[in-house]
Structure 1
C-alpha cells in the first residue's frame, strides 16, 4: 500500500509567538532538535508570504490559512501552509495556540513520519474501526483511512477542519463536551453519527483517552461502526412498540423446567382479560381456562407445546371479572441461536362479538325475522329428522299446513302494522299449542307449518288440530280494535301418508287445498280420495291454460227481455268449456280455477272479443240497439290499463261502446270501494253500460251505491225461489223500489216460473232473463230470435 501524506508538524506558541513545545514531526521536518528550537519565535521559524504580512499578531491568524516558507536547519526553504488555533474550545479565553504546519503539494514527509518507527503503525492502519488523534484545538493530528471513508474527505482536507463539524449541528455541543471530558478526566465514551461531506451517515461508538505526544496534550480514540446494531435496535424498538400497541393481546412465556410461565403481556392483554402483568408474571397462563370446556382444543395446544410446534385454536376463557369470552389463540415457538426453544409467543384475538354475530346470522338464516319461528330451511331439516324418527320407532307424526283465510282483508283494512301484530300473535298461539320438541315454522306471508311428533293416536291428533284451529280463531285486539282471524288447515301423517319430506309436504299441501275448497276455516286430513280430487284439479288447471289457445271455449247468449214489451233487448254472454275428452264443463268448475291461477284475465279478454264479434254480426243484420253483457272479474277490474285496453279493442273492432254492458258483482265492488269507483268511472267515460250482478248478496251501503256510476242492478236468483213467501217477496220488492229510486233499471235473473214472471211484472221490474223464456243460445240461434222478433207472451 502506498502511504499518503499525513500532517504531523505541530508546535505550541504563546500569545507573543514564543515556541513553548515542539513535537517529533517538527524535528524531522525542519532538522532542528528540541534544544535548538527553544526560545525561538514563530517569525524565526516561518517566513510568511508578503501578502500575509509577518507583523500580524498570533490572535489575528486564528482560523486563517496562511502560507509561507519553513526555514529548515540545513538552510532549505520548505513551502508550507500554516493553521493556528487556540488550545481551548472557548475562543474568548486567551492562552497558548497550536500551530499546524502542512507541507505544500509534493513536499510532504512520509505519512507515518511520527510513528514510522513504532511497530504499531500497521496495526493502527489495519484496525476495523476509526482511529484518530486530536489536540486541544479540536484538530486532527492522526487518523486512519476508515475515518477518511466515513467523512468522504481526503487527507489534505481533514487537518484544517474542526472535528465538531463532522457531526450534525444539534449534536456538536455534546461532542465538544465529550472531548473536553476526555482531556479533563482522561477518558470518555459516546455514540454519535458522523456526517460525510456528501451526506453519508455512519453511527459510531467512540472511546477517547488522554495522552501526550512529547509535550503536546492530545486525546486518541477509536470509533466502532455500530450502524448495523443501530438498525437492529431500531427494528427491535419498532417490534417492541408494535407488540405494546397491538390491539391483539400478546403473551410471552418462558420455558423453564418443562413449564411455560408468563414473562410478558402487553396492554391489550391486560385490557382484554383484566389481569395486569404484575399479577400474573411467573404464572402458567392456563389459569384462565374453563375446566371441562373446549377439552379437545386444550389437548391440541398441550400436544403442540410438548412438540415445540405452532398451534391455533378457538376456545373460551374467563376474564378476571368472571365474564366468559371467546378467543382465537395462535401460539408460536421462539428459538435461540442454538435452535433451542426458549419461549412461546401467544397472540389472542377476542372474537366474542364475531361469535355472537355468527350465531345471530345462523339464527336469521334459519328463522323468520318477524315471528322468530323456524323458516323453510330449518323446517326441512326438522321434518326430515321427525320422519326418520317416526319410521325407526314406528310412531305417529303429523305435518300441518295453516293458511290464514282473510289476511289480505286484515292488511287492507287495518294496515300492515296490524297485520304484523296478528302474525306475531298467531305465532305465539301456535307455539303455546304444541310441545317444545315440536316445530312451528312460518314459510310465507300468512302460511304457518307445524311438525307434530310422537302422537298417541289418530283421534288424539285430530283433537289437537281442532283445538289449534279454535285457538287461532279467537279475536285479536290491536290498537283497541278486535280482529277476527280464521285458518284453513291441511294435515298429513307420517309415515302413514309418506316417508320422505317431499311426499309428506305434498300430502299436507293437498289437504290444505281441499280445506280451502270446502269454504275455508276448517281442517282436512289427507286421504287417497283427496289425492284424486287434487289430481283432477291440477289436471284441470293444466288443461285450462291450453283451452283458450286451442279455441275450446264457447259462448252462449241468454236473452234479456223487456217486461213491458216482451221484446228481446239484450243477452248475457255465458262462457262454456267444450273439453275434448270430458265434453261441456260448466263455469262453476273452471272459473274458480281461472281466478286462482290468473287465467281469468286472458279468458275475460277472449269473452269480450267474442261478444263484440256477435254485436258486429247483429249490426250487419240491421240490429243496432242490442246490448250484450259480459261478466267482469275482480282481476280485470283491478288492472291499471283495463279501460284503455278496452277502448282500443272497441275501436279496433268498430263496436259502439253503448252496446256493451259490463257486469260486476256486489262483493267485488265492496272489497275496495274507492278503487272500484275509480275503475268504474274510467269505464263509464268510455260509454259502456255498467251493472251490479248478484245484488242483495253483498254488503253494500246506500252511500256507496249512490256513488257508483252504474246503469242496472240484477236481482240474484236466490231471491226469486219462492216469491209467494213473504221473506223473498219483501226483499225482491225492496230491491226493485231501491233501484228505481236511484234511477237505475232492475233486471231479474234465473226466472223459471210463471209465478215469478207475474210477480216481477206486478212490481214493475224492468227486465228478466231465465229458462222460462230461453236458455243460453248459440250466436246463430240468437240472431234468428232477434231477427224474427220473438217475444215474451203478454
Structure 2
C-alpha cells in the first residue's frame, strides 16, 4: 500500500546533513517541490534552537528531540519539533538518518486533520485493528487511534518513540528481526504483546509489508487484537489437557451426512479398548459393538444421534483383544457458531467390575446358595412371565413340583453332608435335562420346581417330566454306599390348568400330593386327560421291550434315486412297530421311549442285522453296488465296541462294508464332537459309508464338519417346502454348495413334488428320496423294483 501524502514530514539525510530523499508530507507541510530542495542541506530548511556554541552534528542530534523553525517556501516560519534517528533498518545505507518534523501544538492542524483529505483516511481510523507505518529508523510515520489506545499514548508522544520500546525487553530482538525481515523480504508476520504506558497489555497478530513513500522506504502494517483468541486458545489447551488426562475414555467423532467418524480418542480410551488413535481414526465407533447384544440400546443411540441430541446408555463393547466390557456411555452433540452440530463427544466409563458385582448380588438374591438354582423369588418372576407368555401367544407350558422321597431318611442314615450332596446332584441332573429357557428352582429343603416353557404338545411335556424323574432316580454314590433318591412330581399345564401363576401353582401342588398318595416315585398331572397320556407312555415303554423280543418290529426301505441317471442306487431302512392291538405305530412315538430306556441299543442292532440281510439278498440278485442306510442312535455311537460288533455282523452276512451307510444327526455329532470324531474314524476305517442326517436343523461348527470323515449329507425335508417361492430355496442351495465344496455327496429327503425335483436337479443335488418316487417298501417289493430296473421318470 502506498500512502501519499503522509501527515508527517520525513527527510533522509547523510552524516553531513545533505538531503537524499523525502516524502510527500514534507512537500505539503513546507511547500517545497522536489526541484526546490534537490541537493540542499538540512540547515537550509530547518533552523534549530541550539544553545550558543558549535552546532551539533547530525549524528549528535540522533535520538534527541529538539525544537526549531521550519522555513517554508512561502516565507512562513513554522515552529516544529525535530527528531533525528539512525536508519537502523537499512543496512545497505549505513550512516544515513531519518529526520521527522512535527509541527508544535498550535502551529498546525492536528494529525486527524492532516489525514482527513486522504482517500483512505476514514478507512484507516475505522479499521478494527491497529494500523501503522514505520520508517527505517524504527519510528512511526502514521498510525490510527486504535494504536494510541493500545499504547495509552497521545498522538504527540507517538512519533518520538522508538517502536521497539512498545514491547517487553525480552521480546524486542525478535520484534526488530521481524521488522527488518519486512524491509528485506517484503513482508513478515508475528504475534506480540504491546505494553501500554500505564502497563496495559494487549496481544496482537501483526502483519507487515514493505512499501515506499516517494523515495522513502517504509513498512506498513496492521495488528489484530487476538487477546480473546489467546485466552480461548489457552482455555482450549487446558480443556484438551483435561481430556487427555481424564481417567474416563473419551472419543470425539465428526458428524457429516449421517456418518460418524472418529477424530480423536484420549489415552484412557486407548488403554480401555486396546485401540490406538492411528488405527481407528476415520472409523465409525460402532465397530466395537457386540452384535446381537443390547440391540435396544443401539437403536436408542442411533435415534438420538439422528436427532442430534444427547443420550446416555449402558451397553457392552468389545476390546481389541476380543474381551467384552460393560460401559456407561454418555454422548453429547457439539455445535459450531452457526448452531450446526458438527461433532459428538462420547465419554465412556468402564463399569465391568461394578456390573459383575451387581450380577453377583443379584444372583445371591435370586438363587439358592447350596445348589445355585433359582430361589422362590426368581421362581415367581419366571413363572409369571411364562404364564403370561403362554396366555398371550396360545402356547403350552408346565409347572412341575418335585419332592424328594424319603429325604429325611437319607439325612438320618448318611448324615447332612450326604444330604447336601444328594441335593446338589439332583439339582445338576435337573439342569441337564432342562433347556436354557426353562427354570429349575429349589424352594425348600428337598423341594424343587420346574418351569417348562413353550411346548408343542402335552405328549412332549410328559416326555420331559418323565425324563427328569428318571434322572433323579439314578443312584448316587456316597462313601461307598449307593443312594437312590426318588421323587414324587405333580404337574400342571398352563394355561389349561390356570391363567395365573397362583392358579398354576395350586394345581401343581395338588397333583404332587396326588402323586405321593399313589406310592411316591411317580408323577401325576392335574388333569385326568394328561394322566391318561402318562399311562399310555408307561404302557408303551413296557410293551416296547416285548415288541423287540417278539419280532413285532419290521423294516421298510425307502428307495434313493440318483438324480443324474434316475437309477435306484440305494434305500433307507425305516423301522415300524406292528402292534398286535393298536396296529402300525410310527417311529415318532416309540423311538424317544427307546432312547430314554436304552432299548434303542438292541433295537439298533436288530435294524443293522436286518439291513445286512437285505443287502445280502440284493447282491445275490445282482445288485452289487446297492447301498442301504441305517439311522444310528447316539447311544450306539458312544458304545466302545460298536465298530467291532458291526464288523462281525457284516462278516457274518458276507456284506461289503461299503454297501452299508450309517446316518447320524447333526445334534449327535456336535453333542461331543471330539468323541464323535473318534467313533466315526473307527467306522470309516471299517469301510462303511457315513452320512449326516437332518443337515441344517442343528448347530454345526464348520471347522468340525470338514474334519468328520463323512461321505453324504442329507438335506432335511423342512428345507424343501415350496422351494420355488419361499426362503428355503436359499438355504437348500447353500447346503448343496457346502456339501460339494467339502467333497461330499448331497441327498434330499422328503421330496414330494415335481417342482422340488426340478429345483434339486437344477442345483446339482446328487440323490433324492421321498413319496414323489416311492414310499417305504417291503424288502420283497424293493428287490422287485431294483431287479426290474425301475427309474425316476423325467
Interval containing the TM-score (normalised by the shorter chain):
0.3 to 0.5
Given the two structures, how large is their TM-score scaled by the length of structure 1? 0.47
Q: Higher Cα Rg: structure 1 or 2?
A: 1
